[in-house]
Chain A
Amino acid sequence: MTMFRRRRPDDWASEHERAGVLSALDLVERLPSSDAAWLSDHLLDCSTCRELAAAYAADRLLLRSLRDTAPEPPRDLWARTAAAIEQEAGGADRAWRLPRIGRVPLGAASGLLVVAVVVGVTLFGKTPPETAVVATAPPVTPGPDATPGSTPLAIPPNQVAWVQKNDLGTYDLFVVGFDAVCSVDAGAECAPIDSSAGKSVELSRAPGSVVLSPTAPQIVVVDVAASTTGGSVFIVPVPTPQPSFDPSATPSPTPIATPDPTPPPDPTPTPQPTPPPSNEPSASPTGSPDATPDVTPAPTPIPIADGAVAIISDVIVVGDPAYSRDGTWFAFSARPADGSAGPDIYVWQAGNELARPVTFDGRSVFTGWIDDLVLGSRAVPIGVTIIDLGPTPSPTAPPPVVTASPPPTPSPATGPGSSSSPDPGLSPAATIFDGVAFVLDPATGASVDLVGSSWRPVVDPSGRFVVSWEGALLVDGTGVGWGLGEGRLVLDAWIAPERPQPPIDPDASPSPDTGSPAPTSSAPAPTAPASVEPSSSLDPSASPSPVVLRTVLADGPVVDFDARWDPTGTRLAVWIADPADPKIGSLRLFVVDPDTGVLSASEDRLDGAPALRGFSLERGRLAWITPPGQDGEGSRLHVVAWTLDRFGTIESRPGSELIVLQ
C-alpha cells in the first residue's frame, strides 16, 4: 500500500521545482521576503528557471489580453432571469414583481439606488469624522465680481497657494486663506477668491511646477524648460515669516511681503551639468571609500536671480517632485537633457548645495514619500527582475544575469550624463516593461524592492492603501522613458515592506556630498517637527493591511495619471489625462473607507472635472487649475472644500499660466 504524506511547504523535490512554484506564486501575490530573496538568487544562476519565470509572466500578459474579447451576454438575459426569479418567488404574495423592471430602466433604477445609498452613507457615518464647521468664521472677502445673490457656506479656515503670470510677464505666488465657499450650483453668482492681498513672491522664470516646503520658508521651482528641452530645479527663499499653513491661524487672505531680490554673484551663470553618477558606487548602497569625490569634482551651486539657487541643471524632470513630510528632504526624478539616459531619482537635503542621485540605472522614477523613505518604481523588462544581457554578448558569454537593484556593477553608460545609448544592458527584444516598486533610504541609499507589478505607486499617509499602475510599460517617444501600455490603475491594500538596511560595512564610508560617514538607516532620522505624526507605513505590525476590495480606478489604455491622498488617507483624488491632449484631463474625488478601501463617490461632485495636470489635495479641500476657456478666457484656480455635511466651491479670477502649489 502506498502511503501518502502531506507535503510540507519547504519539502521540495529540487530547488528548480521550488523556483518554479515561487515564480508562479510571485505573480499571485507578494512573496515573503525570504522566498523572494531565495528566488532572486536562484534565478541568478539558473537560466532554465529564469526562462520559466519569464514564460509565466508572458502567459499572464497573454491571458489578460482576453479582456479585450469579453463575450457579450444575450440581450434578453435579464428577462429570462427575472422570469425565473419570479417563478421561484411564486404565489400572489410576491413582494417583488417583474413588471417593475419594465417600467424603470435598470440602469436608472440602479442609479437612483446608488444616489440614495450615497446620501445615506454620508449622513450616517461612513465617512470619517471631520472638524466641526466654524460657523462664526467670516466669509472670504467678496471680490468686485460678487453679486448679492450668492450665499457663502462657512467652512473651517483653509488655504491655497498658486502661481500666476502677471501683466509684466513675471510670475506671482499667491497664498490665500478662505473660510467660505459657495454652493456648487451658485455658478457665476459666486464671488471669486480675492487674491489681491495674497501676493507673496515674484518669480522671474517661467515655472513648470512649484512645491512649497512644509516647514521652511522656501519653495522649489522646477523650471518650465525642465519639462521640455532641459532646465533646472531651483530652491527659492520666500520671505519670512513663512506663510502659516495652520488654517486655524489664517482665516483670511495672508499677505506676505515681496522679498528683496538678491543680486546674483555671477551675472551670467552657466548652467552646469549634473555630476554624472556613472562613477557612483552603486554596488553598495552606502557607497565605498573610493567613490568619487576625486573623480567627480564637487560642483558649486548656481545662483540665480531673486535669491534662487539651482540644485540641478540641464535635466528634464520626470513626474512630480515632493518634499518629505518633515521638510528635510526633497526628491524628484530627472534624466539628462541630452537624452543620453533615462530617469533616475535625485534627492536634495535641506542645507546642501546640490541634489544628488540615489539611483543609477536610468529607469527609476520618484513617486512619493513614506515617512523619510523615498518610494520609487523602476521599469524592468518583462520577467522577474532585470535581465542584463551585457553590452557585448558573444557566443561564449555567460548566460544572462539577473541583477538586483541597483545593479552590482552598473555600466557607466546607465546613468544620466552618459553619452552612450540608453540602457545598453537590456535585451534588444525587451520592448515591454513591467514596473517594480521600491523604497529607498535617501540617507544611505539602501533600498528594498517590493514584489509584484507596480508602477508609480502612491501610498496613503496611513499606510493602508496604494494606488498604482498594474500593467505593461512601453518605451515612449524619447526612447529613454516609459509610457503606460496595457493595464489598469488600481487601488489595493498596501503591504508595508521592511525598512531597507544598508549592508554591514565595518569601514564607514564617506557620504559623497558631505564627506561624513553615511548614516545607517538605524541612525536618527532628520529632525522632524513635533507636529508630524509618525506614520506606520513601514511597520507591518502596527498597521495590518486591511482586507481591501481591490478597485480598478481606470482601465487601460491610459496616457497619464496622477493620484494623490489627503493627509487623512480618506480622500483620494485621481486625474486621468485626455488621450487627445494629455495636458488636460478629468479629475475625480473619492472617499475611501479606511477599513475596507471601498470607494464612495459621496464627495465626488466633480463628475470628472476638466483639469490641467497638477492638483493639490489637502485636508478638507481640493484645488486644481481649469483649462483655458474656449472663448479666450484664461484658466482659473478652482477649489472645492468640504466638511461632514457641506460641500462648496470657489474660484479665482481667470489668468494665464496658473500653477497650483503642492
Chain B
Amino acid sequence: MSALSHDARNLPFGNGALLRRGRAVSATWDRGAAGAFVEVLFGKHHGEIYAYLYRMVRDGELAADLTQDAFVKAYKAYDTLEKPENARAWLYQIAHRVALDELRRRKIVRFIPWTGESRGSSPSAEHMAMELRLSGDLERALARIPERQRAALLLNELHDLTGLELAAALGVSHIAARALLSRARGSLRQALTEERAADAALESTTIEAGER
C-alpha cells in the first residue's frame, strides 16, 4: 500500500463538489441529488462511521444498524447541510446523535441477559475477534466514562476531528468541546487506573489460588 494515503475522506474535493453539483440541480430538496450525495458519502465515510459507532456501543450488529440509520438520516437531512466542506463533520454529528439516542434508549429499556445454553454452535471467529478487541484495559476504561466524553475522545483521537469540526460533530460550542475533551482525559485516566488496579488484584487472587 502506498504510504501516501489518498484516503477519500481527506480529499474533500469529491464531496464538496458533488454537493455543489447537487445544489445546482435543485435549490431545494432534491431526492436525486440527495441519493447520489449519500451514495458517495457512504462510499467515503461508512467505514469510519461504523468504527465510531462500534466503539460507542460495543456491538457490531448494532453498530451496523446505527450506521444505516445515520446515512438514512443524512439522506433525509440533506438540505440542512449548509457548507459542503463540512460534510464529514455533519455526518459525524448525525452519527453522534444516533449513538446517544441509542445509548439513552438502552438505559431505559433494560435487556435481560441471555443465560441459557447457546442455541447454535460456539461463537463465530469474527465475534471472538471483536470481543478480543474489547478485552483490553483501554476499551473497558472507555466504556466506563460518560458517553459524551467517550465520543469526544474517539472523535478527536481516532477520527481526527478537531476544533470547529469536533464541536460541530458533538453539537456543542468550541469552548464546550474543549472542556468536554479535557474532562474526558481526566475520566479516562481515572478509569484506566481503576481497571489496571482491578487487573492486578485479579491476577494476585489467581496466583494465590494456584498456590493453594
Contact = CB atoms under 8 A, between A and B. Distances in A.
Interface of A: 20-21, 24-25, 27-29, 52, 55-56, 59-60, 62-67, 69-74, 77-78, 80-82, 84-85, 88-89, 94-96, 101, 106-107, 109-110, 113-114, 116-118, 120-121, 492, 547, 549-555, 557-559, 574, 576-577, 579, 586, 588, 596, 598-602, 608
Nearest to B185: A24
A550 B162 contact: yes
B144 interface: no
Interface stretch (B3-11, B101-109, B201-209): B3-11
30 contacts: A21-B186, A24-B186, A25-B182, A28-B156, A67-B158, A71-B50, A71-B133, A72-B50, A78-B42, A81-B46, A82-B39, A84-B68, A85-B38, A89-B75, A94-B35, A96-B36, A109-B40, A110-B40, A113-B40, A114-B13, A120-B21, A549-B12, A552-B160, A553-B4, A554-B3, A559-B3, A586-B2, A598-B16, A599-B12, A600-B11
B184 to A, nearest CB: 8
Per DSSP, are chain B's interface residues mostly helix, strand or loop, or mixed?
helix
A59 to B, nearest CB: 6
A549 B185 CA distance: 24
A80 B44 contact: no
The 5 residue pairs across chains A and B that have the minimum distance between CB atoms: A96-B35, A95-B32, A117-B17, A73-B50, A24-B185
Contacts of B8: 110
A77 B4 contact: no
A95 B133 CA distance: 42
Contacts of A94: 31, 35
A63 B189 contact: no
A471 B192 CA distance: 22
B143 interface: no
A60 B68 contact: no
B13 A109 contact: no
Given A60-B157, A94-B35, A549-B88, 8 more contacts: A66-B158, A72-B47, A85-B75, A95-B33, A96-B35, A110-B43, A547-B164, A549-B85
Interface in B28-60: 30-36, 38-40, 42-44, 46-48, 50-51, 54-55, 60
B165 to A, nearest CB: 7
B186 A62 contact: no
A588 B160 CA distance: 22
B100 interface: no
B163 A56 contact: no
Contact of A70 (B36, B47, B160): B47
B63 A71 contact: yes
B64 A73 contact: yes
B181 A77 contact: no
A28 B163 CA distance: 9
B13 A96 contact: no
Contacts of A78: 42, 46
Nearest to B142: A63
B98 interface: no
B188 interface: yes
Contact of A599 (B11, B31, B183): B11
A116 B31 CA distance: 21
A56 B157 CA distance: 12
Contacts of B68: 77, 80-81, 84
A600 B60 CA distance: 35
Contacts of A69: 133
A120 B17 CA distance: 8
Contacts of A27: 185
Contacts of B36: 96, 113
A513 B26 CA distance: 69
A552 B3 contact: no
Contacts of B14: 110, 113-114, 117
Contacts of B164: 547
Given A69-B133, A89-B35, A586-B4, A121 B157 contact: no
A78 B67 CA distance: 10
B141 to A, nearest CB: 9
B75 A88 contact: yes
B12 A598 contact: yes
A24 B40 contact: no
Contacts of B3: 554-555, 557-559, 576-577, 579, 586
Contacts of A74: 60, 64
A600 B75 CA distance: 25
A552 B10 contact: yes
